[in-house]
């Protein structure tokens, strides 16, 4: 399977990257895994022209958002990682999704959303400094996961599972048990 990893953290070796590595570790042998550091992409902001809703393509000059959009469409499964930033996904990841509405969603003639990634399997990982259980009582990592799931919902994707590292400031890395859970999530991602 073609697995596309979207690291939404600007930190290449941060907590989200550790979680993403743990999810993809068991997949490296039998699958084609591509890793994208989203914050390193050159992408213009979405101008909200809404043309893509009619034409199914972004009218902006070709940049990395077009290139990664194609990779998203061609992937069999996605592993999406984001730090919690203001109770949401990171800005670079949000920009990639803003620029790729037609990769996930079309519109019927009557203006109803049409899913374009039906059944695509997705794993989500996130981290935040807020400790457990406040990261879920308050919309901290819960907010980040909800925001990513909003896009996946309109795409018709299947979220296979989520992994969160709360209290990341004190935790300094991820525990062996969290890494093992992430490994298991990776294996579930490619299971029929
Ligand atoms: C701009 C910004 C906003 C943040 N907002 C939140 C937040 O709303 N809630 C929270 O618990 N942590 C917040 N954090 C902390 C990060 O979620 C936390 O440091 C996370 O572990 C970073 O993961 P990384 O090392 O993979 O980048 C924020 C960090 C930054 C830089």
Query: Ligand 1 centre from 10 Cα, in Å?
Result: 11
Our mutation pick for probing the ligand 1 site, out of 21, 85, 126, 172, counting the most ligand atoms within 8 A of Cβ, is 85
Which residue is closest in CA terms to ligand 1's atom 17?
128
Q: What's the CATH number for 2-189?
A: 3.40.50.360
Instruction: Classify residue 177 as left (phi > 0), alpha (psi -120 to 50) or beta.
Output: alpha
Tokens of 34: 């591509």
Domain spans of the chain, in order of start: 2-189
Structure-token match 């299947």, residue found: 158
Question: Would the CB of 136 count as within 6 Å of ligand 1?
Answer: no
Determine the Cα–Cα distance for residues 51 and 48; give it in Å rounded to an integer. Answer: 8
Question: Would the CB of 85 count as within 6 Å of ligand 1?
Answer: yes
Measured CA distances, 69 to 32, 35, 50, 84, 96 (Å): 17, 14, 17, 23, 8
Question: What integer pLDDT is reported at residue 192 of this predicted model?
Answer: 67
Question: Would the CB of 128 count as within 6 Å of ligand 1?
Answer: yes
Question: What integer pLDDT is reported at residue 172 of this predicted model?
Answer: 80
Per-residue pLDDT of the chain (192 residues; tens, 9 = 90+): 999 999 999 999 999 999 999 999 999 999 999 999 999 999 999 999 999 988 999 999 999 999 999 999 999 999 999 999 999 999 999 999 999 999 999 999 898 999 999 999 999 999 999 999 999 999 999 999 999 999 999 999 999 999 999 999 999 889 999 999 999 999 999 986
Query: Ligand 1 centre from 99 Cα, in Å?
Result: 23
């Amino acid at each position: 399977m073609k697995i596309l990893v979207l690291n939404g953290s600007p930190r290449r070796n941060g907590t989200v990257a550790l979680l993403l590595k743990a999810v993809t570790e068991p997949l490296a042998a039998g699958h084609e895994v591509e890793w994208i550091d989203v914050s390193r992409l050159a992408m213009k902001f979405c101008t909200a022209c809404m043309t893509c809703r009619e034409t199914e393509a972004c009218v902006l000059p070709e940049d990395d958002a077009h290139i990664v959009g194609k990779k998203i469409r061609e992937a069999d499964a996605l592993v999406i990682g984001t730090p919690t930033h203001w109770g949401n996904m990171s800005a670079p990841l949000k920009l990639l999704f803003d620029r790729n509405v037609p990769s996930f969603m079309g519109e019927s003639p009557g203006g109803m959303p049409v899913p374009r990634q039906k059944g695509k399997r997705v794993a989500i990982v996130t981290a935040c400094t807020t400790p457990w259980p406040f990261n879920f009582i308050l919309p901290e990592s819960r907010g980040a996961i909800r925001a990513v799931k909003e896009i996946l919902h309109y795409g018709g994707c299947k979220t296979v599972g989520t992994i969160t590292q709360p209290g990341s400031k004190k935790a300094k890395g991820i525990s062996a048990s969290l890494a093992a859970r992430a490994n298991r999530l990776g294996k579930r991602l490619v299971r029929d």
